[in-house]
Amino acid sequence: MNPYIEILRPGNAIMGAISIILIAIIDRTISIPIILAMITVFFETAAGNVINDYFDYNIDLINKPERPLPSGRISLKNGRNYGYLLFLAGTICGFLISYLTNNWIPFVIVLIADVILYLYAYKLKSTPLIGNLAVGFMTGFGFVFGGFSLNTSDIILTSIYLGFFAFVMTTAREIIKDIEDIEGDRAEGAKTLPILIGERIPAVIATILIIVDCALCPILYYNHIFGVYYLFVIIIAVILFLYSGISILKSQDRQTAAKASKNLKIGMLIAFVAFVFGSF
């Protein structure tokens, strides 16, 4: 794969854009602003991935030496400038959405996202728990951004519900990823939660967040946001979520953490499918 495509982590960037697609499906709306919103989230997510790799260069030399920057396939300078260009592209798209809809909230959301994504990569990532919350917040923000891009009261409320769900589960996954990356983070001098207090308590915190999200899943049905088909699909995601939580409680070794993190990601994709089915 071309390193300039690989460094975007296109799978993650597309997953970010899926939040906008889901909001469009739920609202049964397709328009130029919503298409621009998908493109905006893709650019912003990709920019965050690139600038994060730039600041994580020394950590990735240990944890993930095959990535484009530590492997030398992209220079550090080019990686940094590439990230800046992607931020600019996302910001321009956000401006166009606000201009077309005469609603400046989406543009403000993009500007806030620019700041948080950069600060996360530069400083927040190594801050205990704050970095995890920042990533979760940005994931949930994607849904809220989609709701305000459509700019109707019902879909804005729905987007906030979905954003909270994504925020909680993503935060849990980020804590587990810190357990997975503890070796490289410690070598770099980072102060993540597992480094400061050990792996056990972060595993418990992540599991509690997973359980909270699973318990909240039925609310989206009982509040008539989604129909009964949602329940049939979301149960699969809930089982996968709980399995991940149980596994990380039993063992906090790197392999278990990696598997739990992957399963949570798959579970979130299944949950997104449940959102689609529930909108029918």
Tokens of 118: 């950069």
Q: How do the pLDDT tens digits run along the chain, 280 residues long? A: 788 888 888 887 887 788 888 888 888 888 898 999 999 999 999 999 999 889 888 877 877 888 888 888 888 889 999 999 999 999 999 999 999 988 899 999 999 999 999 998 887 776 778 888 888 888 888 899 988 988 777 788 888 888 898 999 999 999 999 888 888 777 767 778 888 888 899 999 999 999 999 998 888 888 777 888 899 999 999 999 999 999 999 988 888 999 999 999 899 889 988 988 887 7
Which structural domain, as residue segments, surrounds residue 145?
3-278
Tally of structural domains, the chain: 1
Query: Would you state the pLDDT for residue 158?
Result: 85
Q: What is the CATH number of the domain that holds 37?
A: 1.10.600
Contact 141/163 with Cβ under 8 angstroms? Answer: yes
Contact 94/107 with Cβ under 8 angstroms? Answer: yes
Contact 51/121 with Cβ under 8 angstroms? Answer: yes
Interaxial angle between packed helices 228-250 and 254-278, expressed in degrees from 0 to 180 and rounded to the nearest 10: 170
> pTM value?
0.81
